[in-house]
Amino acid sequence: MSETLESAIRDISQACGNDRSRMMDIVEAVQAKYGCVSGEAMDLIAKQVSTHRVEVESVVSFYAFLSEQPKGKVVIRLCDDIIDEMKGSESVAEAFKQELGIDFGETTPDGVITLEKTPCIGMCDQAPAALINNEIITYLSSDLAREIVRKLKKNPDPKKLVGRLGDGNNASHLVHSMVHNNIRLAGEVIFSEMAPGAGLKNALALNPQEVIRDVKTARLRGRGGAGFPTGMKWDFTRQATGDKKYVLCNADEGEPGTFKDRVILTEKSDLMFEGMAIAGYAIGADTGIVYLRGEYAYLRPLLEDVLARRRNDNLLGNDVMGKKGFNFDIRIQMGAGAYICGEETALISSCEGLRGDPKNRPPFPAQKGYLGCPTVVNNVETFCKVARILEHGPGWFAKMGSEGSSGTKLLSISGDCAKPGVYEVPFGIKVREVLDLCDAEDTAAVQVGGPSGQMIGMNQFGDSICYEHLATGGSVMVFNSTRDVLTIARKFMEFFVEESCGFCTPCRVGNVLLKEKLDDIIEGKGKSGDLDYLESLGATIKAASRCGLGQTSPNPILTTIKNFRSVYEAKIAAGKVEEGFQPTFDIHAALQTAEGIAGRKSVHA
């Protein structure tokens, strides 16, 4: 056994050129083959790529999809998102537990099936959903969960679980998944017909500066959330000194409630690859990397196929489209379950085979990014927009949308509405119009921009979605009047606690403290002063955290206090047993451990 592990790791490492920076590929391959990266495997990998064992452990222990402890041949990961919960994931969870006879975080005694929860897998429009190895199961019910377990017990091959196939490319043999695109509103930028090469051809007829000029004239801003002007970013990278430069595409799509990139990857990856090639030409890069979240591994064969076709058609490779000296190719880097890796410097760390820790800035990626080289990182949708801008001209694009936010935006809409799915809308659209589009009724709150964005109430439904007012990377979650905003905020805080990289103090510790206080309030143990406590603690976390995660993670609490203060106040008032006495300390709970050890109940408590 040991000998085969040794030779397997030698082969895997050699296939990656024994390159330490390809650590993600190596440990992912070992995990896939053995269900874990054991201590012995870590030693062998370290030897093979000339690093230290603890460095390998450091990487493996960071990512949710990698583990030192053996996992089952089949890993069921139930999506643990607020939307899934609203659609009944709790009864699905119960069914899985009962049928398997294990709890979450456990593996069946025969070592075949592991049951876990995972944050948003990007299927909120077809929730509840689960990831079973690489297969996606949508519209789960407790009956379906039981059936899945019975089937897996007979034949532990998740591929056999895929039921009726979804629409579009989801039904192709390369994807073969149940996932639905749910494209509800196809706008003219992303979802209109495309002829591969149309945008690229126009770009190659210009010089790189002119390409960047066009992107600037279109006033394109990043679609991943932060909204940085794309042309400016490219200009910085083009001007930065370095022989080698890189184009990175952020397909990590981890913000809960966002799934529009998944639909682009399924139906319009050509457009994205084209935008990446244009970026490569503009900044002088010959390599592109798509960082694809582990949850979307099922799309990889399709993407590889599109890449192969583009190579074949000389849309990638040497002298692209006959342009002498312009060489550009793209590879796919798989993530392994870490929201933070969507943050651009953490994404770079992960591509370099490291823990997904964000990096200190400056230097910015445009100066020193992937492997220390000038690097452009853009979102999937941003690259698509670039391809269209070069195809139809910047004026065409800038005419759409609003003054400060040109063009269209893909929204991923989920929650309490009749038509969840993907909508391509012009920037500047009002929340109320969006709610009408998706047939939402009795809406009481909308989370715009995912947990890191803001929860707004009815008095803001007249505001418009754009960079200047309500910014969003695409996530729009709709909640009707039966939902409790505090429970939703708690769910989001659990997410941030789970996903903090832990590098900096305010985010690592502060979010835990925020969540504990919110727990107290929800449990009726709130007291006056708690809201000030939450607000001042939240302010510290936002101000002092090192990256965008901690700088936005208090938002679920801060924006619900701002817009739904009365809900908090009512909860705190209702929890008061009597004036002057609030039961914040539970003596029975505190004594439990000691009583367990002593084997008897405490006399006084």
Ligand X SMILES: Cc1cc2nc3c(=O)[nH]c(=O)nc-3n(C[C@H](O)[C@H](O)[C@H](O)COP(=O)(O)O)c2cc1C
Q: Residue 494 CB, nearest distance to another protein (Å)? A: 11
Q: Residue 51 CB, nearest distance to another protein (Å)? A: 8
d(CA 495, CA 491): 6
Q: How many residues bind ligand X (CB under 6 A)?
A: 22
Question: Which of residues 234 and 568 has its CB atom nearest to ligand X in the complex?
Answer: 234
Q: Which of 133, 379, 511, 559 binds ligand X (CB under 6 A)?
A: 379
d(CA 340, CA 252): 9
d(CA 332, CA 314): 18
d(CA 415, CA 417): 6
Q: Which of 13, 287, 378, 559 binds ligand X (CB under 6 A)?
A: 378
- For the purposes of burial, counting CB atoms within 10 Å of the CB of 173, is it exposed (0-12), middle (13-18) or buried (19 or more)? exposed
Q: Which of 116, 125, 214, 253 binds ligand X (CB under 6 A)?
A: 253
Q: Positive or negative CA dihedral for 167, 173, 174, 178?
A: positive
Task: Please identify, among the stretches 234-242, 263-271, 320-328, 547-555, the one whose residues bind ligand X according to the rule CB under 6 A.
Answer: 547-555
DSSP string, 107-131: E-TTS-EEEEEES--S-GGG-S-EE
Task: Please identify, among the stretches 253-261, 282-290, 440-448, 575-583, the one whose residues bind ligand X according to the rule CB under 6 A.
Answer: 253-261
Residue 376: closest CA among 271, 524, 497, 277: 277
Q: Which of 369, 548, 554, 575 binds ligand X (CB under 6 A)?
A: 548
CA distances 526 to 20, 82, 483, 533, 556, Å, are 50, 23, 20, 11, 18
Q: Which of 47, 53, 430, 527 binds another protein (CB under 8 A)?
A: 53
Residue 299: closest CA among 123, 67, 62, 74: 123
Of 174-233, which residues contact ligand X (CB under 6 A)? 222-226, 228
- For the purposes of burial, counting CB atoms within 10 Å of the CB of 488, is it exposed (0-12), middle (13-18) or buried (19 or more)? buried
Question: Which of residues 477 and 518 has its CB atom nearest to another protein in the complex?
Answer: 518
3-state SS class at 444: strand
Q: Residue 578 CB, nearest distance to ligand X (Å)? A: 43
Q: How many residues bind another protein (CB under 8 A)?
A: 38
Is residue 153 within 8 A of residue 251, CB to CB? The reply is no
Decide if residue 274 touches ligand X (CB under 6 A). Answer: no
Is residue 382 within 8 A of residue 222, CB to CB? The reply is yes
d(CA 237, CA 285): 10
Task: Please identify, among the stretches 69-77, 246-254, 365-373, 529-537, the one whose residues bind ligand X according to the rule CB under 6 A.
Answer: 246-254
Please give the residue whose beta carbon sits closest to ligand X in the complex. Answer: 222
Q: Which amino acid is at 219?
A: R
Decide if residue 358 touches ligand SF4 (CB under 6 A). Answer: yes
Of 499-558, which residues contact ligand SF4 (CB under 6 A)? 500-504, 507-508, 545-547, 549-550
Task: Please identify, among the stretches 167-175, 251-259, 404-412, 490-498, the one whose residues bind ligand X according to the rule CB under 6 A.
Answer: 251-259
Scanning the structure block, which residue is given the tokens 């005419």? 399
Decide if residue 382 touches ligand X (CB under 6 A). Answer: yes
Q: The tokens of 603 are what?
A: 């006399």
Decide if residue 544 touches another protein (CB under 8 A). Answer: yes
Decide if residue 372 touches ligand SF4 (CB under 6 A). Answer: no
Q: Residue 186 CB, nearest distance to another protein (Å)? A: 39
- Residue 324 zone, left/alpha/beta (φ > 0; ψ -120 to 50; rest): beta
d(CA 420, CA 446): 14
Scanning the structure block, which residue is given the tokens 């192709």? 172
Q: Which does 417 bind (CB under 5 to 8 A by kind): ligand X, another protein, ligand SF4, none?
A: none
**Bridge partners, residue 185, by sequence:** 423
Q: Residue 505 CB, nearest distance to another protein (Å)? A: 5
Q: HEC states along 177-216?
A: CCCCCCEEECCCCCCCCCCCCHHHHHHHHCCHHHHHHHHH
Q: Which does 530 bind (CB under 5 to 8 A by kind): another protein, ligand SF4, ligand X, none?
A: none
**Bridge partners, residue 131, by sequence:** 77, 136
Q: What DSSP character marks residue 460?
A: G
Q: Residue 126 CB, nearest distance to ligand SF4 (Å)? A: 29
Q: Which does 254 bind (CB under 5 to 8 A by kind): ligand X, another protein, ligand SF4, none?
A: ligand X
Question: Which of residues 130 and 247 has its CB atom nearest to ligand X in the complex?
Answer: 247
CB-based contacts of 247, cutoff 8 Å, min separation 6: 276, 279, 280, 283, 285, 287, 288, 289, 375, 376, 378
d(CA 83, CA 128): 8
Binding to another protein by CB under 8 A, coded x per residue (else -) over 319-348, reads -------------------x-x--------
Q: Which amino acid is at 35?
A: G
Task: Please identify, among the stretches 9-17, 258-266, 464-472, 504-512, the one whose residues bind another protein according to the rule CB under 8 A.
Answer: 504-512
Decide if residue 58 touches another protein (CB under 8 A). Answer: yes
Scanning the structure block, which residue is given the tokens 């452990």? 57
Decide if residue 587 touches another protein (CB under 8 A). Answer: no
Decide if residue 347 touches ligand SF4 (CB under 6 A). Answer: no
Q: Which does 344 bind (CB under 5 to 8 A by kind): ligand SF4, ligand X, another protein, none?
A: ligand X
d(CA 229, CA 232): 6
Q: Residue 547 CB, nearest distance to ligand X (Å)? A: 6
Decide if residue 497 touches another protein (CB under 8 A). Answer: yes
Residues found near another protein in the complex (CB under 8 A): 39, 52-55, 57-58, 61-62, 338, 340, 355-356, 360, 362, 497-506, 508-510, 512-513, 516, 536-537, 540, 543-546
Residues found near ligand X in the complex (CB under 6 A): 222-226, 228, 250, 252-255, 340, 342-344, 377-379, 382, 547-549
Residues found near ligand SF4 in the complex (CB under 6 A): 340, 358, 500-504, 507-508, 545-547, 549-550
